[in-house]
Structure 1
C-alpha cells in the first residue's frame, strides 16, 4: 500500500469525521468559536469566498498572559477537505489552553500547491495581525497539519520566502507539529512514479520537477529552521514513514533533530481521528511543545 493510495480515503475520512463533529456539537465545550472569518480581502482578485476562510477556537477563560496559537491545516490529497470537519481539533486545543485557528485553502484542480502554500501563508499572516483579539500570542504561533496539511505546515515553517514574498521579512512560525505528513519530498516521490495512480498528483504539483522541489520542505530546512514535532503511524503508508525518517535525518544533520514518535499500530486516517480524544499522546506532547498552560 503506498502513501498516496488515497483515492477513496478522503471520502471515508469525511464520513467518519462528520460523525465525530455531530457528536462534538451535541456537547458543550469550554471554547469560543468564531466561524468563517475571511483571511483574504474580498477586493483581492483571487479571493475565494469559500476557501479563504478560517475558524478561531479560543479558551473561554481569559488568562493573565496570552495563549499560544496553533494554525491547523487539513489534509485530503491536495484536492479535498474542509475546515468544518475538524472542529473537534479546535475545541480540544482551546480546552487545553491553546488558541486554535483551523483554515480552508484553495484546492486542485482550481490551483496548484504553490497557491495552496501561499493561501496558508496568508492565513498565518492574518493570524499574526488579529489573534491577540482572541487571547492568542502572535509571538508563539505554530503550524500543524495532517497528511497533505502536514506537508504544508512543514513548508510554512521551513520556506521563509512564503512570507518574504508577502512583504514580511521574518517568518512568524515558531515550530510545526506534523501528524503523518505527506509531501515532505515530492521531488523524490514524483521522479520515481512508483505506484499506480501517481499521475493524479501531477494535477496539484504540475509536471516540472523544479516545481516539485519548490514545494518540498525537505529542501528548505536549515540550521535556523524552527523546531518540529513529528508523529508517524506505525502502519501508515511506506512512503510517509520513509520520507518522515529522511526528513528527520536531514534535520538531525543540521543540528535540528525533531521530536519524533512512531505510534504503534496506527494507520494513516486514524492518525488524525485520534485527535478527537483530549488525552491523546499527540496533545500531551503538543502542549509541552507550544508552552501551553494545559
Structure 2
C-alpha cells in the first residue's frame, strides 16, 4: 500500500468520507508536525479533525518529525526513505476527548508540547533569517527592476527544483567549521535524503517569503508576521515529508505548488479526487492528472 503524508488543511477541510477513504486506500502518515498542529489549534478545529479519523486502533501511521530524520541520516550516513521504516510500532488509540474537544494537555504531554512549541518558534526564526538572505544564492535577483522580479524568482524556483548539483552546492555552503563531524557529504546526497529535500524546501519557500516582502522585511515584526511565518515554516515540513514519501494529501495551495515543483512525478490528492472515487472504488493515483504538474525530469 502506498504511503502518503497527511497535512492539516486536508484533515480539517475534507469531508469525513474523503478522509476515511484516504485511510482505506493508502498507508497514511501522521507526522509529529501534524500532531503538534492538532494539539495547538482551536478546539472546534481539533474536534473536527479527530472526529474524521477511523475509530479503530492505529488509524494512521505515526512518524517522527523532520529533525529526527535529519539526525537519522547523520547517524547512519544513508537516506531516510521510506518513511514507513520510522513509524511508531506501538498499538494506540486517540483519546476520545480529542474527538469531543475536551482534551486538556497536562503532565508529560504538556511538557512535550511546550518543548515542541519552543522548537517550532526557533525553527520559524531560523527560516525567516534564511529567507532574508536567500537571494544571495541567485545573483540574477540582485540589481533588477521590481517589474522583472516575479519572473526572476520563478526561474530561481525552477533551478532549485531541477538542478540537483546546485542543491548540493547550497548544502555544502551551509557546512562551516561548526558543522558536526558526522554531517553527510554533499556528494552523497540524493533526492531520497531528507537533507537534500530540506535544502530544496527551505530555499523554495524562502524565495516566496522574500518576494512577499519584496526583500524588505519589517524591522520590528508583530504577531501577525510571526503567525504567517510559522505557517509557512510548517508548510516546509509537509513538503519535505511529502517529497520523501512521493505522495501528499493537501488542500493548501502553497504546499501544492512547492510539492509539484519538486515532485512532478508523484501523487497529489485533494478531497474531490477521493470524493469522486468513493469509499470502495480504486483511485487513479497519477499526479499528472492534477493538471499543473510539469513532465517528470530525467535522473
Q: TM-score range by the shorter chain?
A: under 0.3
When Rg is computed on C-alpha atoms for both structures, the one with the higher figure is: 2
TM-score normalised to the size of structure 1? 0.28
Q: RCO higher in 1 or 2 (8 Å CA, sep ≥ 6)? A: 2
Higher helix share: 2
Higher strand share: 1
